[in-house]
């Protein structure tokens, strides 16, 4: 029993290493999208969009029209060869060109440059009458006068800080509605929700059998 307990950490390390290797193997075909534009060049990249990976190794690509789809079909073997050279092995086995036109891409929002408020800048900001009414309603049941005033001041400062953020171009997170300064992605997410989404994506990938798209 003592020997088995001693082997447990090593066994756990091996399991973690194998899981990491399987995850990386499953992600390799999806890296083709990252390298696509560099592999095919700007002209082809402008009329194509990598849509998905099917059956673990088949790259599905949307094409602007049937003329381009036919042209790229003739170049398929060469493109697959160059993709696999970049991906480090026989990762992509086939390319499927769909002459379905390009999907509309959402306009990406630019990240807001971080800026710290000046001395007293937040305290000078006014808040709406409705916000002040909400603060008053939130603290009205606090019987202790000193505590009620302290909580009211804290909530007012929080509301003023939100007004300052709005003035600086911060946007509400699509998940929790908290204002966030960085929105360089298509969906505006605060750092906490973005991290949570990334963790869910990784767990989803880990839960798939190896080779499943």
Which pLDDT score, from 0 to 100, does residue 212 have?
46
Other beta carbons less than 10 A from residue 139's beta carbon: 16
Separation CA 138–CA 130 (nearest Å): 12
Nearest one of 17, 49, 11 to 32, comparing CA atoms:
49
Separation CA 33–CA 95 (nearest Å): 12
State which H helix or E strand residue 171 sits in.
strand 171-172
Which pLDDT score, from 0 to 100, does residue 103 have?
79
Which pLDDT score, from 0 to 100, does residue 96 have?
93
Those residues with Cβ within 8 angstroms of residue 23's Cβ, 6 or more apart along the chain or in another chain: 202, 205, 206
Separation CA 186–CA 105 (nearest Å): 9
- The values of phi and psi at residue 103, to 5°, are -75, 150
Does residue 53 sit in helix, strand or coil? strand
Three-state SS sequence of 124-145: CCCCCHHHHHHHHHHHCCCCCH
| Beta strand extents in 15-170 (DSSP E only) | 48-54, 58-63, 94-98
Domains of the chain: 30-98 (3.30.300.130), 117-169 (no CATH), 170-203 (no CATH)
Which pLDDT score, from 0 to 100, does residue 123 have?
80
Nearest one of 196, 198, 175, 199 to 187, comparing CA atoms:
175
Which pLDDT score, from 0 to 100, does residue 98 have?
92
Which pLDDT score, from 0 to 100, does residue 113 have?
47
Which pLDDT score, from 0 to 100, does residue 116 have?
63
Which pLDDT score, from 0 to 100, does residue 203 have?
59
pTM of the model: 0.42
Separation CA 137–CA 151 (nearest Å): 12
Per-residue pLDDT of the chain (213 residues; tens, 9 = 90+): 444 444 455 445 444 444 444 545 566 778 888 889 888 888 888 899 988 888 878 999 999 999 999 989 999 999 999 999 988 888 899 999 998 888 775 544 444 445 566 777 778 888 888 888 888 888 888 888 888 888 888 888 888 888 887 777 777 877 777 777 655 555 677 767 777 776 666 555 555 444 444
């Amino acid at each position: 029993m003592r020997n088995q307990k001693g082997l447990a950490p090593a066994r756990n390390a091996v399991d973690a290493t194998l899981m990491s290797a399987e995850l990386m193997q499953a992600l390799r075909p999806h890296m083709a999208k990252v390298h696509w534009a560099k592999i095919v060049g700007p002209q082809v990249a402008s009329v194509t969009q990598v849509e998905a990976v099917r059956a673990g190794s088949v790259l599905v690509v949307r094409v602007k029209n049937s003329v381009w789809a036919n042209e790229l079909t003739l170049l398929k073997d060469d493109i697959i060869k160059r993709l696999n050279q970049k991906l480090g092995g026989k990762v992509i086995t086939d390319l499927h060109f769909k002459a379905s036109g390009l999907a509309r891409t959402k306009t990406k929002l630019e990240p807001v440059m971080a800026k710290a408020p000046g001395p007293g800048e937040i305290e000078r900001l006014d808040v709406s009458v409705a916000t002040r009414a909400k603060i008053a309603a939130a603290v009205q049941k606090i019987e202790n006068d000193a505590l009620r005033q302290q909580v009211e001041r804290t909530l007012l400062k929080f509301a003023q800080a939100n007004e300052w953020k709005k003035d600086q171009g911060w946007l509400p997170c699509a998940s929790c509605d908290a204002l966030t300064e960085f929105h360089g992605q298509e969906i505006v997410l605060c750092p906490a929700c973005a991290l949570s989404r990334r963790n869910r994506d990784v767990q989803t990938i880990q839960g798939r059998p190896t080779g499943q798209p």
